[in-house]
């Protein structure tokens, strides 16, 4: 199923064996507390996270809101060139944020005890919450882009945790 909350990064690499690329990603993903990283074959790695995650870092890690991620390596037409693609799905985190926002909106707008003078304060609060949610989504995307590039360039050194 395709969702608007799937992001894919691609990078061409040269002269790096598939096994080394996949192993680097596996080690880095495990260091960042993913639930399960599995190398499927010589060109594919899948990360699967539980719906509710209980990890030692209290869930403030790279995988918050990420249900599934995938690394695919495809041979390019040129000799020894490969295309590494990294797709991650943050539908879980996005839907959670949308539901939380809807709950807050319903509480504010259907509460009869709020006077008209207090109502603009709640509007500002909602705008701030939406802004924080958008920034949180951007941070998730940037963090995954960063680990993608670092895993390719540096292997599993200085990446993770």
* pLDDT of amino acid 12: 93
> For all residues of the chain together, what is the average pLDDT?
84
* pLDDT of amino acid 114: 67
Mean pLDDT of 137-161: 83
CB of 85 within 8 A of CB of 9? Answer: yes
All domains in the chain, ordered by first residue: 6-154 (3.30.310.80)
* pLDDT of amino acid 11: 94
| Radius of gyration for the chain, computed over Cα atoms and rounded to the nearest angstrom | 20
Model pTM score:
0.83
For residue 27, give the nearest of 11, 39, 42 by alpha carbon. 39
pLDDT tier at 8, thresholds 50, 70, 90: very high
Q: Cα(50)–Cα(32) distance, rounded to whole angstroms?
A: 15
Distances (CA, A) of 106 to 14, 100, 103, 119: 53, 10, 5, 13
> H or E stretch including 14?
strand 6-14
Residue 111 has pLDDT above 60, yes or no: yes
Residue 46 has pLDDT above 90, yes or no: yes
Q: Cα(32)–Cα(62) distance, rounded to whole angstroms?
A: 6
Give the pair of three-digit tokens for residue 93: 């985190």
């Amino acid at each position: 199923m395709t969702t608007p909350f799937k992001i894919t990064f691609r990078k061409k690499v040269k002269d790096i064996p598939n096994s080394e690329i996949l192993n680097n990603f596996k080690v880095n993903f495990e260091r960042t507390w993913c639930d399960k990283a599995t190398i499927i074959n010589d060109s594919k790695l899948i990360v699967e996270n539980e719906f509710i995650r209980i990890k030692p870092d209290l869930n403030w890690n790279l995988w918050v809101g990420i249900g599934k991620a995938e690394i695919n390596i495809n041979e390019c037409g040129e000799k020894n060139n490969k295309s590494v693609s990294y797709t991650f799905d943050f539908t879980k985190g996005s839907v959670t944020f949308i539901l939380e926002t809807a709950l807050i909106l319903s509480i504010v707008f259907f509460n009869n005890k709020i006077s008209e003078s207090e109502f603009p304060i709640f509007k500002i609060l909602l705008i701030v919450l939406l802004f924080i949610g958008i920034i949180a989504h951007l941070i998730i995307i940037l963090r995954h882009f960063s680990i993608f590039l670092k895993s390719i360039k540096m292997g599993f050194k200085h990446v993770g945790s």
